[in-house]
Amino acid sequence: MGTRLVAERLRDEASRMSLQTETLETSFDLIAPHGDELMDEFYSRLFAAAPGVRPLFSGDMRRQKAMLLSALVLVRKSLRDLDRLVPKLHAMGARHVEYGALPEHYPVVASVLIESMAAVAGDAWTAEIGQAWSAALNVVAGVMIEGAESAGQAEAA
């Protein structure tokens, strides 16, 4: 699927989630100051929930944590500019193939990330926030998987 079509699909999803965009922004802004805690919480939970993914990560978890946090910041900053976000998510998806990521990893990562965000946010986290992040991460994963598939098709050609 072309970048323009993906951006249109994301825009359609975003318009359905217009109220959720604000929810995503404000909830991320709430937990962003606790980025290190969020990353520690996330990777601890991820390796407990899916120990099979541990070998996909290099020994330098500080760098990995910084990259994931940067990716989340990018998503947060791009919620209102999806045309800019789609190519970056495609590229991330393509890179993740090289690391050994599989489509079935994405739902686990999303679920664990939401659980981790909720743990860091504490009582400020609501079901509405969780639903907004679930929908958003589902779209993000879909675009990344498309990028991974495109990379695989280009490699096969």
Number of separate domains in the chain: 1
pLDDT band at 81 (very low <50, low <70, confident <90, very high): confident
Rounded to 5 degrees, what are φ and ψ at 125? Answer: -80, 135
14-23 contact pairs (CB < 8 A, 24+):
14/79, 14/82, 17/132, 17/135, 17/136, 20/131, 20/132, 20/135, 20/136, 21/79, 21/80, 23/128, 23/129, 23/132
Q: What is the pLDDT of residue 157?
A: 45
pLDDT tens digits, one per residue of 84-137? 888 999 999 999 988 889 999 999 999 999 999 999 999 999 999 999 999 999
Distance CA 93, CA 88 (A): 9
Quick one: average pLDDT of 77-81? 88
Q: How far is CA 102 from CA 66, 91, 115, 148, in A?
A: 21, 15, 21, 9
Secondary structure tally for the chain: helices H, strands E: 7, 0
Cα within 13 Å of Cα(52), Cβ side: 8
- The tokens 């929810």 sit on which residue? 23
Q: Quote the domain boundaries for residue 89.
A: 3-156
pLDDT band at 4 (very low <50, low <70, confident <90, very high): low
Q: What is the value of pTM for the model shown?
A: 0.84
Domain CATH number, residue 16: 1.10.490.10
Is it the case that residue 43 has pLDDT exceeding 80? yes
